[in-house]
Amino acid sequence: MKRIVFTILIVLGVCVDVHAQKGLSIQSAFDELAVKKNVTEVVMGAGRLKKYKLSFFHSLEIKNPSANEQQRIEALLQSDAGQAILHEEHSGHKLYELPERKGMHYYIFYRCTNQSLTLIYIEGKASLKQIESQFLKSKK
């Protein structure tokens, strides 16, 4: 019984994952890299994110990324950056806000160092200011 429930949860997670990033180039990074040994993937849906006014969170953290992994993700990111309505860069961090649709906001965060590469996709009703204030508040 546990196996059946686990399998259903995985299938539902994949369906949400594919739908959430549909139309974005970075989707292929999530699809291709999530299975590698040096990668940590986090996927959260609306239930866990409701108090933050978010409906979907998907991240990849790659430990000691290869030059190929870094170049691949940066190329995909640049492709999606073309549709961004906001682009900010701060000391190695990049933020892209994509066009709002039906009251939903879409964000891509990216950071790369020699030790790790982080790619995050977020969607929800929260504005960028709300996300920043919530996460800055939780660090105190």
State pLDDT tens for residues 99-125: 998 889 999 999 998 899 999 999 999
| Band of pLDDT at residue 90, cut at 50, 70 and 90 | confident
| Residue pointed to by tokens 């073309």 | 82
Question: What is the average per-residue pLDDT within 51-57?
Answer: 92
Residue 42 is part of which domain span?
A: 2-139
| Band of pLDDT at residue 93, cut at 50, 70 and 90 | confident
Number of folded domains in the chain? 1
| Band of pLDDT at residue 18, cut at 50, 70 and 90 | very low
Q: 60: part of which helix (H) or strand (E)?
A: strand 54-63
66 has a pLDDT exceeding 50: yes
| Band of pLDDT at residue 33, cut at 50, 70 and 90 | confident
Output the CA–CA distances (angstroms, integers) from residue 47 to 6, 29, 128, in the order listed: 18, 25, 20
Pairing of strands 104-112, 54-63: unpaired
> Shortest CA distance to 58 belongs to which of 19, 23, 88?
19
Angstrom distance (rounded) from CA 140 to CA 131: 15
The answer to whether 73 and 29 are in contact (CB under 8 A) is: yes
| Band of pLDDT at residue 22, cut at 50, 70 and 90 | low
139 has a pLDDT exceeding 80: no
